[in-house]
Amino acid sequence: MRRVARVLLFLALAAASGLHTTLAQADEPARPNIVVVFCDDLGYGDLGCFGHPTIRTPHLDRMAAEGTKLTQFYSAAPVCTPSRAALMTGRLPIRSGMCSDKRRVLFPDSGGGIPAAEVTLAEALRDEGYATACVGKWHLGHLPQFLPTANGFESYFGIPYSNDMDRIAEAPKGRDAFWEPESRFFNVPLMRNAEVIERPAEQTTITRRYTEEATRFIKAHRDEPFFLYMPHSMPHVPLFRSGEFAHTSRRGLYGDVIEEIDWSVGQILTTLKELGIAENTIVWFTSDNGPWLTFKDHGGSAGPLKDGKGTTWEGGMREPSLVWWPGTIPAGRVSAELGTTMDIYATSIALAGGRLPEDRVIDGVDLTACLLAETPSPREQVMYYRGTRLMAVRRGPWKAHFMTQESYTGNNKLVSHDRPLLYNLEIDPGEQWDVAAEHPEVVEAIRQAAEAHQATVEPVPSQLEIPLPQL
């Protein structure tokens, strides 16, 4: 705890002075290595430490026991591309054009990607002397100028977009290709840096290979600060797992996939401990959005939350999240403080001794004090966007829905609410009881907060709507 106090004191003094100083100037080394493990379509209720009754996640459960479980931590969007853009930039995707009301995400026929003007987390940390690597699914553009190696990462190993894309003509039609999936059905490329090294990617071993690549990077950079971004391709459908994990989970194929991801996290934590650098490494574990419920047993569970991927109900954007930093972050703590994946951006840059870009709006906030000393989160509100539309706003315990829309199949009609729906999420996380009639003053306060926020948003062209250039 002495180290925690010293880090906090240093941060306070640096902030008060207005100087651009680094944590490395403190009397103890405080520039941590940073690891972000980012799942794809993981549900709030899919981990043992978040209440799943049959999926075994002993390594993630240990991570929770040795670190802090974040029970009110959010993604910035309910689908892949905008969510990942927000994590990498600390900005809502509407500010960068990484969202659309016409196309949900980037596809192999997309010509857009993360704008060069954005300052990625990798770029910010590289400027502070960090080694950087991305291992896994990128989904922020597959053309050369959009790849990780053009956006601050010194190395990249992974699949550049979702693992269900580029389906071959000979594959089963519709959803039949997902029920008994084969890697050959999906002609997705596996890349090393900017080169395709395997196509189609052999997805049955992809989680294992991501893990091996990640641990090699950690070992190679053990003596310098590093940033490892590890966005898994799953549990996004199609679901694949290696032979060691086949038919091992009582939850079926989906459970097998989660248990292999749990193993992967265990390998990362064990490597850090064996190298003697665990106490100087902060590890984040979270997901890009909620479970893809329309895929039934091939999708996950939102636990007590309403709905899932694609929606701005809680199940679409509240994520099962953990943060681990032995000796610095309190062990075994459950935190109900508000946070978002954009805050990983601001917090990481602060811990590295960097400075946030000053020429743009940054939506992330620094959670350092909240994580280290159980102070209240500086985050007061959460904006729930679906595409370019601000659907809902949370302030404190209250969440008001101005518009609602269900998942991507079935009744997908956009509904506007003249009187917003209002829920107290501290009491009603499942959003069952609309209490707007009893709290008109809360509704009005949130409406004003939404208007104030929207006044800061400047329209920019959508990157998701740019077609692939014709050769």
pLDDT in tens, 192-204: 999 999 999 999 9
**Domain boundaries in the chain?**
1-29, 31-379, 383-465
Q: How far apart are CA 41 and CA 186, in angstroms?
A: 18
Q: What does 41-89 look like in DSSP terms, one character per residue?
A: S--TT-SGGGT-SS---HHHHHHHHHSEEEEEEE-SSSSHHHHHHHHHH
pLDDT of residue 237: 98
Which residues of the chain are modeled with pLDDT < 50?
A: 1-2, 5-6, 9-10, 13-29
Q: How far apart are CA 44 and CA 65, in angstroms?
A: 18
Contacts of 95 (CB under 8 A, 6+ apart): 89, 360, 361, 363, 457, 458, 460
Mean confidence (pLDDT) of the chain: 93
DSSP element (H, E) containing 286 = strand 281-287
Q: What is the pLDDT of residues 171-219, one digit of tens each?
A: 999 889 999 999 999 999 999 999 999 999 999 999 999 999 999 999 9
56: how many CB neighbours lie within 10 A of its CB? 18
Q: How far apart are CA 362 and CA 270, in angstroms?
A: 34
Contacts for 153-156: CB closer than 8 Å, 24+ residues apart: 153/122, 153/229, 154/126, 155/192, 155/193, 155/217, 156/191, 156/192, 156/193, 156/194
Contacts of 139 (CB under 8 A, 6+ apart): 80, 81, 84, 105, 106, 160, 161, 162, 231
Q: How far apart are CA 38 and CA 284, in angstroms?
A: 8
Q: How far apart are CA 313 and CA 429, in angstroms?
A: 10
175, HSE (Cβ side, Cα atoms, 13 Å): 9
pLDDT of residue 13: 40
Tokens 């008994």, located at residue? 180
Catalytic positions are 80, 139
Nearest Cα to 323, choosing from 281, 383, 273?
281
How far does CA 309 lie from the centroid of its chain? 13
Q: How far apart are CA 239 and CA 183, in angstroms?
A: 10
CATH topology of domain 31-379: Alkaline Phosphatase, subunit A (3.40.720)
Q: How far apart are CA 254 and CA 297, in angstroms?
A: 7
pLDDT of residue 435: 98
- 421 φ/ψ angles, rounded to the nearest 5 degrees: -75, 140
Contacts of 70 (CB under 8 A, 6+ apart): 286, 321, 322, 323, 335, 337, 339
Q: What is the pLDDT of residues 15-35, one digit of tens each?
A: 443 434 334 333 444 699 999
Q: What is the reported pTM? A: 0.94
Residue 266 φ/ψ region, left for φ over 0, alpha for ψ in the -120 to 50 degree band, beta for the rest: alpha
CB contact at 8 A, 46 and 261: no
Q: How far apart are CA 414 and CA 4, in angstroms?
A: 47
**Does domain 383-465 match CATH 3.30.1120.10?**
yes
Residue type, 63: M
Q: How many residues does the chain have?
A: 471
Q: What is the pLDDT of residues 35-50, one digit of tens each?
A: 999 999 999 999 999 9
pLDDT of residue 10: 45
Same fold, 31-379 and 383-465: no
Helical H runs in 275-414?
A: 314-317, 341-351, 368-373
